[in-house]
Every structure is written in C-alpha cells, then in structure tokens.
Amino acid sequence: MARDELRPVVKLRSTAGTGHVYVTRKNRRNDPERLVLRKYDPVARRHVDYREER
C-alpha cells in the first residue's frame, strides 16, 4: 500500500503537558523529520507547540 507508506498517520502531542493529542497525516517526502506545529490546546486554553510522537 503506497498510500500508507508515503502519508502515515501521526499523533501530535501537546508540549504544555496536558495530554491533548491531534491526529493527522504527514508527507514523508516533504517532512522526513518529526513535525512540530503550533496549534490550539483546549485544555490549556492557549496556542502551544505540538510535537510528533511515534
């Protein structure tokens, strides 16, 4: 399955320590390293960095 290998599903966990998680897909060809995105954490009620976990 080429689709699953090129665009795997990844979990993005909040760096605020709240345990909130976003689930998304990433393109391995464009982003071979781990993703870091700034998104809204509803538990902390502010924008924080979310880091990819494996």
Query: pTM (2 decimals)?
Result: 0.87
Q: CA distances (Å), 29 to each of 9, 20, 42, 43, in order? A: 14, 27, 31, 32
Q: How many CB atoms lie within 10 A of CB 41?
A: 19
Give the domain ranges of the chain. 2-53
CATH superfamily of 2-53: Ribosomal protein L33 (2.20.28.120)
Cβ-contact 50, 36 below 8 angstroms: yes
Percentage of residues of the chain with pLDDT beyond 70: 94
Q: How confident is the model at residue 3 (pLDDT cuts 50, 70, 90)?
A: low
Which tops the pLDDT comparison, 3 or 23? 23
Tell me the mean pLDDT in the region 28-38. 95
Mean pLDDT of the chain: 93
**Residue 5 CB contacts under 8 Å (≥ 6 apart), including other chains:** 28
Phi-psi region of 19 (alpha: psi -120 to 50; beta: other; left: phi over 0): left
